[in-house]
Amino acid sequence: MKGTIRPISRQRKCPKCKASFKHILKLGYACPDCYTAPTRFFIDLYWNGQRPGIYSDKLGQPLDSYQRAMNLLARIQGEMGGVRSTIFSKQ
Query: What pLDDT digit, counting tens, does each position of 26-70 carry?
Result: 889 999 899 899 999 999 987 778 888 899 988 899 999 999 999
pLDDT category, 82, cuts 50, 70, 90? low
Residue spans of alpha helices (H) in 2-65: none
| Bridge partner list, 54 | 43
Residue boundaries of the structural domains of the chain: 3-88
Whether the pLDDT of residue 88 is over 50: the answer is no
52-66 CB burial, b ≥16 within 10 A, e <16: eebeebeeeeebeeb
**What pTM does this model have?**
0.77
Whether the pLDDT of residue 87 is over 80: the answer is no
Residues, the chain = 91
| Bridge partner list, 45 | 3
